[in-house]
Amino acid sequence: MRALFHFFLFSSLFIAFGAVLMVYQTAHLMELDFPVDSILYFVFFATLCSYNLHWYFTPSSPEEKIRTQWTIKNKPLHLTLAFAGGLGSFIFFWKLKEYWYFILPSVVLTFLYTAPKIPFGPFPHLKKVAIGKTIFLSAVWTYVTTTMPLLIYETEWQTRETLFCISRFFLIYAICILFDYRDRDADRADGVRSMITYFSEKGIDRLFFFSLLVFGGATTGLAMQGIKLIPVIALTVPGIITGFLYRYAKKNHSDYLYYFVLDGLMVFSSLLTLILPF
């Protein structure tokens, strides 16, 4: 059973299905015209491709004992899933080719996040110019799961859409701060620059809780833009849990906590949207 759980979690199937749920939530709450099948499939395969490519090129980390051991043993699987994800992405990109100008930025931005990990050619030099990886990753996730579907469905952009994007960005950013805090020593050694590598402990604390404050304000604002109370509460819950986990997660670097619980909190409100009656 544990082996199956590790496969689902560390093969990035977990995060790929999570990305699909986040797109579904966007479509549901923002009242997009269905079907969104091609977008869901594209996001699933693109996430599967990018994350497996990322882990294939990521060196071992002392902070990720279980994940590192699994990755070392399953490098061929990472490469196979990256190839399968790339093929699936291309197929559904072709189905959505009339929207290429909205989709291409997500492809480029996702590649740029992984590119510094590639250990040959000009790519390692990107570490020296990569600034604000936490902001960058949060922006990519927000664009792919929120902004891109809204643009493809030619949504009339109003305050509601802006608040939803802000809400999602700052929740993801708060979660990413914890990942960067865990990795800050390795990032400093590699020359990766971000606010987390520069800030003091108090500065990081302030940044984290400021992010949650903005998240809470934007999410609450959705209630004044026609979103029902239950979905707003569902959106708020993962932010509250993240806040309570902050001190614990700074001291406990368990792979399960980070790659299942914290990554899962990005998706949690989307799951609630799927199962709650509203």
State the sign of the Cα–Cα–Cα–Cα dihedral 144, 145, 151, 157. Answer: negative
Q: Which amino acid is at 105?
A: P
| Residues contacting residue 211 through CB under 8 Å, at least 6 positions apart | 170, 173, 174, 177
The residues, ordered by sequence, that sit 6+ positions from 137 with a Cβ below 8 Å of its Cβ are: 113, 172, 176
CA distances from 229 to 29, 235, 265 (A): 12, 10, 20
Residues with Cβ within 8 Å of 204's Cβ and at least 6 positions away in sequence, in order, are 177, 181, 195, 196
From 2, 20, 82, select the one nearest 49 (Cα to Cα). 82
CA distances from 231 to 22, 32, 252, 269 (A): 13, 16, 31, 8
Q: Model confidence over 189-223: pLDDT tens digits? A: 766 667 788 888 999 999 999 999 999 999 999 99
277 φ/ψ sector (left φ>0, alpha ψ -120 to 50, else beta): beta
Q: Where are the domains of the chain?
A: 2-270
Count the Cβ atoms, other than its own, within 10 Å of residue 193. 17
Q: What is the pLDDT of residue 65?
A: 80
Which parts of the chain have pLDDT scores under 50? none
Place of tokens 């559904």: 92
CB atoms within 10 A of CB 160: 19
Structure tokens at 41: 């499939």
DSSP summary character for residue 102: H
Q: What is the pLDDT of residue 278?
A: 63
